[in-house]
Chains A and B, each alone.
Chain A
Amino acid sequence: MALALKYESQRLAYPFFAFSGLVFGLQILFGLLAAAQFVWPQLGLGTIPFNISKEVHANTLVVWLLMGFMGMTYYMTPLETERELWSTKLAWVQFGSLAASAVLLVVLYVFDGLTGHAYNVQFLGTGILSEGREYIEAPRWADIVIVLNVLMYIGNVAMTYLKGKKTDVMLMMIVGQLCLAVAYLPGMIATNLMSEDLWWRWWVIHYWVEGSWELIASAILCFLLMVTLKAPRRAMERWMWLEVALVMLTGLPGIGHHFFWIGTPSMWLWIGSIFSALEPVPLLLMVWDAFRHSQEYQRHITNRPAIYWTVGHALFNFVGAGLWGVIHTLAPVNAWTHGTQMTVAHGHLAFFGAFAMLIIACWYVALPSLQGVEHELAWDQGRGMRAFWWMNISMCTMTLVLTGAALVQVYLERVVGMDFMTVKMQYNWFFWVMRLATGFTFLWGCVYLWRDLWKLAPARSEGLGGSAPHAIPASPEA
């Protein structure tokens, strides 16, 4: 008998996951173009210049992660609240409007590039095609659509929560979602001063990451560990509260590391340095939590890709966001590394580890039941594992390559005093070639992922789930 979804409305997760997979593909393609433009700077001039490829690369990241979070919310909300979603129609409207806006935005960004920004005229206080602010390039009309969309999403989940069973995981999801909507608003504060512009921009970016996505991610991590390991809910929720409390206590003042040298008072050098140094603590706690529980309950593992991506997420959240962050967010260090490739190295591993890997773990948890495979071992888990290793090794190599480029840049540009372009095109050119190569190997890993997202393959040998471990399914203790 095929694996069945417990609630019909869980099916909503699939269109969200499929769309997020497609946008992820688009993100990688534009990332490859941007990486190639580092090697050949004249590539795309007159059509899609670097600023457009970077703009699409960064914005599609936000969209596919958001879509992935939403899909997972719709998958887990009925299970947690033990009832169908409040309104599947509203969720479909929300999916349609967000997907349409995302596609339209990508088309408009490319159009903006093709026309040399000639038509990016003012509309509702920003450019109609692009706001022109890094990471929050979505123009004001799209900001409004996004906020309304998130409100629909919160309303739907909150109504389900209020009518259903109350769990701490769902409470955390709703708090995280509320913060998602609220933290987007400072980006709409109009200012003519660049320092203030950067100030409010970081409120959106840093507080989305630390004050919202990390909360949603902690709730999802808690749920994933309960589902994949059959770990007891009480212990998982206890950990979750401690982790999110520490994330907020360190992350909220930790915004200070974005306020170095941009025309803000020097107190931020202290605040940013101290709290940034503490930010890896909760992330390390998550690693310990994930490793300890996956060891303790490993006899229950039947879905190897899901647990690898979950534990990998905890580990690379710590390494990418924590370690690669703290090595350059202490003010005396940042005085030298500010605005260099060190930020790029950190950004790539942090977003991949903290959020991309978590969403991929969600896909692997949900896909067997969403696609109705025969039983929990009757699908080839080898593809998910190959994707895991290809993508992780590629991303780690890319991060190391970018870190190498950063060290060369800091020394030659900031210490010796050489010109930016000389360092970039003569001394660091080899690093750009290496980065492009790792981009292609990363893409190769993604191909396995997309094939699974499209359709899971049947197990190679009956009942063993391809390369699945010897596993004994057990009843959940939750």
Chain B
Amino acid sequence: MDHDKAARLGRSLFFAGSAVCLAAMFFYLTPASLAYMNLANHVGPEGVPAEVARGKQVWQKFVCIDCHTLLGDGTQYAPELGRIGIKRDDEYLKMYVKGAQTLNPTGGMPSFPAMSDQEAADLVAFLNHTSQVNLPKDLWAEMKAKRDPYDKRAYAPETNPFYRSYWPPRPMSADKQ
């Protein structure tokens, strides 16, 4: 194949291929995914609750994502917080997010004297909200009451039959029980 023909073919493949992929992203994959995300996050027509929205701002104000992961995204320096709402109760979490060094003086998390009580409450509301992602709401409430992070039902089969577990995966010890 001569140069011009080969280069033309490559150029057409580049522009046409990119256009097709981007069209698929814009016109189907993104609208479908955004609609699903509302379901997975239990958000109805009234939108995200105000305290959760404020809590997300607090999460960003204190740059939490540069130490922690949330839903597996973020930094692997400190524990994942995507299910912290099940593992810890609200009062403990409110104390911890403000004064980590008081509760754990040898740990690496700083205390935040600048964080107000309202900000701490909003942050915990936000963490509780993200703890429900991908879980049926009633199951989340039941688990939160039981405080059992390894309840098997937390990892109910997903819609896709090949991937049976939600993240984080079910520990082997729970499998064997």
Contact = CB atoms under 8 A, between A and B. Distances in A.
Interface of A: 34, 37-38, 41-42, 45-46, 49-52, 54-55, 58, 112, 115-118, 120, 122, 126-127, 130-134, 137, 168, 192-199, 201, 211, 234-235, 237-238, 240-242, 244-245, 248-249, 252-253, 255, 258-271, 331-332, 335-336, 338-341, 343-344, 414-417, 420-421
Contacts of B18: 211, 248-249, 252
Given A50-B77, A211-B18, A262-B71, 7 more contacts: A122-B57, A194-B71, A195-B133, A238-B10, A245-B14, A262-B73, A420-B79
B72 A338 contact: yes
B70 A194 contact: yes
A133 B113 CA distance: 22
Nearest to A118: B114
Interface residues of B, number: 79
Find the residue from B64, B67, B75, B79 having the highest chain A CB count within 10 A. Answer: B75
14 contacts: A51-B67, A132-B63, A137-B66, A193-B38, A194-B126, A249-B18, A253-B21, A261-B167, A263-B36, A335-B167, A338-B72, A339-B72, A420-B79, A421-B79
A264 B14 contact: no
A238 B6 contact: yes
Contacts of B169: 335-336, 414
A237 B72 CA distance: 40
B37 A37 contact: no
B61 A238 contact: no
A252 B67 CA distance: 28
Contacts of A335: 163, 165, 167, 169
Contacts of A127: 60-61
A264 B32 CA distance: 9
B163 A269 contact: yes
Interface stretch (B89-97, B103-111, B136-144): B103-111
Contacts, number: 234
B13 A55 contact: no
Contact of A241 (B7, B61, B69, B77): B7
B39 to A, nearest CB: 9
A248 B108 contact: no
List the 8 closest pairs (A to B, CB-CB), nearest first: A241-B10, A41-B108, A132-B60, A339-B72, A417-B171, A261-B167, A118-B114, A51-B66
A49 B110 contact: yes
B65 A132 contact: yes
B13 A194 contact: no
Contact of B172 (A137, A240, A415): A415
A248 B80 CA distance: 32
Nearest to A46: B110
Nearest to A262: B71
A415 B37 contact: no
A117 B174 contact: no
B158 interface: yes
A240 B62 CA distance: 44
Q: Which of B21, B24, B69, B80 has the most CB of A within 10 A?
A: B21
B33 interface: yes
Contacts of B74: 134, 339
A50 B14 contact: no
B80 A339 contact: yes
A192 B56 contact: yes
Contact of B33 (A238, A248, A268): A268
Contacts of A270: 160
A340 B10 contact: no
A250 to B, nearest CB: 9
Contact of A192 (B53, B75, B79, B107): B53
Given A134-B74, A241-B11, A262 B133 contact: yes
Contacts of A133: 60, 65
Contacts of B22: 252
B77 A38 contact: yes
Contacts of B71: 194-195, 198, 261-263, 339
Contacts of A249: 13, 17-18, 21
A50 B57 contact: no
Contact of A263 (B11, B77, B134): B134
Contacts of A421: 79, 107
A248 B10 contact: no
Contacts of A340: 76
A241 B3 contact: no
B25 interface: yes
Contacts of A237: 7
A106 B78 CA distance: 23
A50 B67 contact: yes
Contacts of B165: 335
Contacts of B101: 45
A465 B171 CA distance: 60
Interface string B42-54: 0100011000110
Contact of A132 (B41, B61, B150, B173): B61
Contacts of A193: 37-38, 41, 43, 48
